[in-house]
Amino acid sequence: MSDFVKPWVVISKCLGFARCRWNGLTIQDEFVERLKPHVEFMPVCAEVEIGLGVPRDPIRVILSNEELRLVQPATKTDVTNKMRKFCNTFLTSLDEVDGFILKSRSPSCGIKEAKIYPTMEKSAAIRKGSGFFGTAVLERFPNLPVEDEGRLRNFIIREHFLKRIFTIARFRSTKKTQKMKNLVQFQAENKFLFMAYNQKEFRVMGRIVANHEKRSVSEVYDNYEVHLYAALAKTPRYTSYINVFMHAMGHFSDKLNKQEKSFFLELMEKYRSGKAPLRSDTDVLMSWGVRFGEKYLLDQTFFNPYPEELLDISDSGKGRDY
């Protein structure tokens, strides 16, 4: 696989697209910069869209009478209704979208770390949560990848995000054709990837594609999409990857000598114990695919789920980085 459909990703405009932060600055993010050639970005700044200038007095989320409000303490202005109206209008207008990258900790765009205060006056935060725009995104698009630039510094989260947006984008392109043969090909080329993510959903998706009930093409695609999102919802466990390795190795079981098999099994054990990266095993399998001309294996998105230029093994240090 080498041709990738460009995902449509809504992104906070302050992440390298415009000087629209409250202080008039922008934030250059290395990952976002590397994504630009491979993604169709849709930059937006919710705060500017509701009429707040640049630079501007900061806004904050407060808990007032058990209700979250969005306010500007310096001007004593409540912009809750304006923000809710914008969120509804903007998100409803999105025709094609495969994921979101939002500004971390922002009272508008934050998805987990936005500070929530007890009052408009100067005080300490009482807890953390989502900003207003971030909340609206999570509610309206519960099945799509939604991350902030801070969390994407973690290798596992970043890898999961990339696999999801490129798989969803390719499915969106496939669905437009409304051809069963294209859906069959999509399922076949993603077999190993789906096995790694969720074997139960993978089997369900296979039955949907088989279409023994003779449902209409549009109904098949709609039903398949529901289970595709469910399959990609959670990050795969390392044990699931090992299962895929064994399955892939089966394609070469009668072509490898004893030493080659032993080497791969030892390498797989190193991966299991955290002493070798995932890439070590996948590269060996790919080399065998090339050596023996296994086109079916070489076409698997499992080995090339997103553009190679985006591969970066750096990590924030908050988790196993392979």
Terminal CA-CA length for the chain: 22
Bridge partners (DSSP) listed for residue 146 = 100
Higher pLDDT residue, 22 or 320?
Answer: 22
- Decide if pLDDT at 321 tops 50: no
- Tell me the average pLDDT across 156-170: 97
Instruction: Say which residue the tokens 């973690």 belong to.
Output: 154
Tens-digit pLDDT profile for residues 201-223: 999 999 999 999 999 999 999 99
Q: Is the model's pLDDT at 316 over the cut of 90?
A: no
Whether residue 5 has pLDDT greater than 70: yes
Rounded mean pLDDT, 258-264: 95
Asked whether residue 320 carries a pLDDT value surpassing 70, the answer given is: no
Least reliable range by pLDDT among 35-49, 55-69, 182-196, 300-314? 300-314
Q: Can you tell me whether residue 87 is helix, strand or coil?
A: helix
Q: What is the pLDDT of residue 253?
A: 86
Using alpha carbons, select from 33, 32, 38, 30 the residue that is nearest to residue 7: 38
Q: With contact defined as beta carbons under 8 Å apart, do 292 and 252 qualify?
A: yes
Distance between CA 4 and CA 215 in Å, rounded? 29
Q: Count CB atoms within 10 A of the CB of residue 280.
A: 15
CA angle 61, 136, 139 (to 5 degrees): 125
Domain boundaries, the chain: 8-152, 154-322
Q: Is 42 helix (H, G, I), strand (E, B) or coil?
A: strand
Determine phi and psi for 39, rounding to 5 degrees.
-135, 145
pLDDT at residue 2 above 80? no
- Give the bridge partners for 40, in sequence order: 8
Residue 1 has pLDDT above 60, yes or no: no
* Average pLDDT rounded to a whole number, residues 99-109: 98
The reported pTM is 0.94
Work out whether the CA dihedral 30, 146, 165, 140 comes out positive or negative.
negative
Res 317: pLDDT = 53
Q: How far is it between the farthest Cα atoms of the chain?
A: 75
| Cis status of the peptide bond prior to 55, with omega within 30 of 0 | yes
**Which of 168, 179, 109, 170 lies closest to 144 in space, CA to CA?**
168
**184 — phi, psi (to 5°)?**
-60, -45
Asked if 6 contacts 37 with a C-beta cutoff of 8 angstroms, the reply is: no
* 37-92 pLDDT tens trace: 999 999 999 999 999 999 999 999 999 999 999 999 999 999 999 999 999 999 99
